[in-house]
Amino acid sequence: MKTESFFLLKLQAPDRIGLLASITNLIAKHQGNLVEVQQYTSTLDKVFFGRLAFEISGLDKIEELKKNISLLAQEIEAQWTLRDQSVPLKTILLVSKTNHCLADLLWRWRSQELNIAIQSVISNHEDLRSEVEREGLPFHYFPIPQEAALKEQALQQMAAMIRRESAELLVMCRYMQVLPAWLCEEYKNRIINIHHSLLPAFVGADPYRQAYNRGVKLIGATCHYATEQLDAGPIIHQEMLRIEHFHSLNDIRRLGRDCEKLALARGIRFHADDRVLVYDGRSIVFGD
């Protein structure tokens, strides 16, 4: 019987003297042993951001700690989460027709590189069904009609399914649809998207073609939270590589895939390990 567990406390609050002391005191008082503390204070915004990983034994102690954190949080006006690290995040992937990010994430998930539990895969096309099902995962086909009312209806059904599965994280793996504002709001900072450019350059459709036409010497991919506004959400991670004049558009697409896979996988990892906090459209990432 496991009696020792790792917990992740993530919080942000208006900065004040003694803030970190109060929090670490509380954890010490409950015999929690800090193994990783990351703190950042935005001196500009006067906001404190922290992530504390600690081990603690006994279920009763953690319940009591939780209650006390709640009390402290009220006092210091903090937003916070406390998570048992041994419980992976319930995650649903959304795909369209290209499979490079999907295949990469499936491998990392099976290899336990990511602290997520993939529940199922949603797609607006049937193309990747067999690739998903051979992993023993449910594949949900939700075609997205063009017509507005029908589209809204399809998205509502999709959202209902997402809620039924109690998904905690949605990952758009080159899912070629824009999610509606109400879904972005409902899953605020819990929908991760990969865009195949170094945002804010080349927003919108076919960014590699835009990059090729502009003649840039560096391309890349951006992992960010989806918001109502296209490609404008908080950036979690970016990867880039150097290209040369002899790279055709197809070469750029091929090379870019490696950036996309890596940027998305790292972004998901940071999120799933509670390493990302968002403030004022920018992300604080206590990376690893």
Contact set with its own copies (CB under 8 A)? 15, 17-21, 24-25, 27-28, 31-41, 43-44, 99-100, 103-104, 107, 111, 113, 134, 198-202, 213-218, 220, 234-238, 240, 244-248, 251, 254, 258, 262, 281-285, 287-288
Closest CB 146 distance from its own copies, rounded Å:
29
Structure tokens at 106: 């499936």
Residues sharing a CB contact under 8 Å with residue 64, sequence separation 6 or more, in sequence order: 30
Closest CB 200 distance from its own copies, rounded Å:
5
DSSP string, 174-199: S--SPPPHHHHHHTTT-EEEEESSST
Nearer to its own copies, 102 or 158 (CB): 102
**Catalytic residue of the set 231, 251, 274, 280:** 231
For the chain, how many helices (H) and strands (E)? 8, 13
Residue 251 annotated in active site: no
Nearer to its own copies, 172 or 259 (CB): 259
DSSP string, 224-245: EE--SSTT-SPEEEEEEEE--T
Structure tokens at 28: 């010490």
Closest CB 246 distance from its own copies, rounded Å:
5
Closest CB 36 distance from its own copies, rounded Å:
7
Residue among 11, 5, 14, 35 nearest 23 (CA)? 11
Question: For helices 249-272 and 207-214, what crossing angle results, to 10°?
Answer: 130
Amino acid at 272: A
Closest CB 208 distance from its own copies, rounded Å:
14
Nearer to its own copies, 146 or 248 (CB): 248
Nearer to its own copies, 96 or 283 (CB): 283
Nearer to its own copies, 163 or 217 (CB): 217
Q: Are 268 and 224 in contact (CB under 8 A)?
A: no
Closest CB 87 distance from its own copies, rounded Å:
20
Ramachandran bin of 195, using left for φ above 0, alpha for ψ from -120 to 50, beta for the remaining angles = beta
Instruction: Write down the residue that tokens 């009696």 correspond to.
Output: 3
Nearer to its own copies, 67 or 217 (CB): 217
Residue among 194, 244, 195 nearest 218 (CA)? 244
- Bond prior to 200 in cis (omega within 30° of 0): yes
The set of catalytic residues is: 231
